């Protein structure tokens, strides 16, 4: 027995990277509730299997899982092509996999910062390359990248490299969108604000934070609109994003 899904998207497929926990798993639940079939990939196969069992039981959708470390770039192409072969058509690919642990530049943590940059930008580039290869062949699809509100400005201390990677990803996405304007291929950048997940579970209360469940729900709604850019939650992050771009750097540094 399974619960009836709430949408009419049973023939549509969404691929989500970094889907074993946090916002990736939350988005998977949201899209399954709307009737999408899912291709989920991450490093932790046990968690993926648990999530697959949950979604199939609750919503009756098709869920395929693959082990993927996005820093193994050849594997990104292989897994995306495998999903395409399994489903026959991919409607949406969400570049979600990423990490958030950075250190001050020049504090002796180059290897950690390099890993952050490689995971959040180079591996994201590999995912965009693999996704666009499929979408160009289909002449259809929706590429979604999960950036961050930190992409609005350069940020100090442990956020410097993280913000730079998310800004780079946002610019990469916008460049693709500029190329594909007026075509059947849609490209969206999502800028989440503070969403409480297991990755930041030990942090102090964050400004305007929302729960993982609420954040995932808002992400799915924003992605479904297929807008060029979306701030999540829209309030207060949309106006704050505009302010962040024009405030004096000293103010941003103290935020």
- Residues with catalytic roles: 162
What distance lies between CA 157 and its chain's CA centroid?
A: 24
- Exposure string of 4-35, with b = 16+ CB inside 10 Å and e = fewer, is ebeeebeebbbbbbbbbbbbbbbbbbbbbbbb
Q: At what angle do helices 123-138 and 73-87 cross, to 10 degrees?
A: 30
Burial classification of residue 102, based on how many CB atoms lie within 10 Å of its CB (0-12 exposed, 13-18 middle, 19 or more buried): buried
Q: What is the CB neighbour count within 10 angstroms for residue 68? A: 26
d(C-alpha 229, C-alpha 225), whole Å: 10
Pairing of strands 92-95, 63-67: unpaired
d(C-alpha 44, C-alpha 106), whole Å: 32
Q: What is the DSSP letter of 10?
A: T
Q: What is the DSSP letter of 181?
A: T
């Amino acid at each position: 027995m399974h619960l009836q899904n709430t949408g009419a998207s049973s023939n549509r497929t969404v691929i989500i990277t970094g889907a074993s926990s946090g916002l990736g798993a939350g988005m998977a639940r949201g899209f399954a509730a709307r009737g999408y079939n899912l291709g989920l990939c991450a490093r932790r196969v046990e968690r993926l299997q648990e999530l697959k069992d949950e979604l199939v039981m609750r919503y009756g959708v098709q869920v395929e899982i693959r082990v993927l470390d996005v820093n193994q770039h050849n594997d990104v192409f292989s897994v995306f092509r495998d999903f395409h072969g399994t489903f026959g058509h991919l409607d949406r690919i969400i570049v979600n996999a990423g990490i958030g642990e950075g250190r001050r530049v020049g504090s002796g943590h180059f290897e950690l910062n390099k890993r952050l940059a490689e995971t959040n930008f180079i591996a994201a580039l590999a995912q965009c390359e693999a996704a666009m290869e499929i979408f160009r062949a289909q002449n259809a699809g929706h590429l979604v990248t999960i950036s961050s509100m930190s992409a609005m400005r350069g940020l100090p201390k442990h956020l410097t490299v993280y913000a730079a990677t998310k800004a780079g990803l946002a610019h990469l996405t916008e460049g693709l969108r500029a190329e594909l304007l007026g075509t059947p291929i849609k490209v969206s950048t999502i800028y989440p604000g503070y969403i409480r997940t297991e990755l930041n579970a030990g942090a102090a209360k964050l400004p305007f934070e929302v729960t993982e469940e609420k954040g995932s729900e808002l992400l799915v709604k924003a992605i479904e609109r297929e807008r060029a850019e979306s701030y999540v939650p829209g309030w207060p992050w949309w106006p704050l994003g505009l302010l962040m771009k024009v405030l004096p750097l000293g103010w941003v540094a103290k935020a």
